[in-house]
Amino acid sequence: MALTQVSSNKCAGGFQKVFEHDSSELKCKMKFAVYLPPKAETEKCPVLYWLSGLTCTEQNFITKAGSQLSAAEHGLIIVAPDTSPRGCNIEGEDESWDFGTGAGFYVDATQDPWKTNYRMYSYVTQELPKLINANFPTDPERMSVSGHSMGGHGALICALKNPGKYKSVSAFAPICNPVQCPWGQKAFSGYLGPDRSSWEAYDATVLAASYSGPQLDILIDQGRDDQFLSASQLLPDNLIAVCSEKKIPVVFRLQPGYDHSYYFMYSFMNDHIKHHAKYLNA
């Protein structure tokens, strides 16, 4: 798989790069960002995959989250893909901010006209890791996943659907129970069709209820002044209830005064990188 380098900037002793490639899963050109810590010049490093939220590209995380210093310190490669296929010329893909372009929801669509391109779940769990492991100094056995909002949902389902694949998982303000919230219902009915039982395969709260893999330590930060929390889009209580019932260890931190923005993520990013480093560097 050929990669084209789009940009490369020295950062925190390593390099923040962006690449473009032709995606076999998404049938379009895709960009992803990769941070290579100084350690990657001499040895193989574990990889943290970051999944962004609605409307984001690969740029938001690398310019706003402040992850690079901590990634450099702990020797982590961080890979941040885009949030949907781009430029597929599907009718309706640019009509709303929470469906279509920039809103792939990390599912594999089964409905026309989305099913050919909108396969973000397979892209982030299969195609992208293979591409990263083939082109960068990674240890393929050591990977973790994190994300924000729609991407927090993505991170949680990737970990819960693939027991043992990811060493740890964390999320900022994740959409925890998409089958029960307006964002999820809109996206899932469009991508997956009217049969609600098919939606459950991509719902962290439902997946946690039947999880039986190796212990997974989950860290979730949620801003208490997040407008989407009060609008019942995120529903963390539903996930936490299931996790405590199933004895899945979750550290859930409700952070007073913080909203849904990157200012919130920037404030606690070091804690998340440290959480992943603990498991990735063990």
Tell me which residues are annotated as active site.
149, 226, 260
Contact yes or no for 37/80 (Cβ under 8 A): no
Rounded CA separation 73/67 (Å): 10
For 193, phi and psi rounded to 5 degrees? Answer: 90, 180
Contact yes or no for 55/103 (Cβ under 8 A): yes
Ramachandran sector of residue 263 (left: φ over 0; alpha: ψ -120 to 50; beta: rest): alpha
Contact yes or no for 45/77 (Cβ under 8 A): yes
For 38, phi and psi rounded to 5 degrees? Answer: -55, -35
Contact yes or no for 70/60 (Cβ under 8 A): no
Rounded CA separation 32/231 (Å): 31
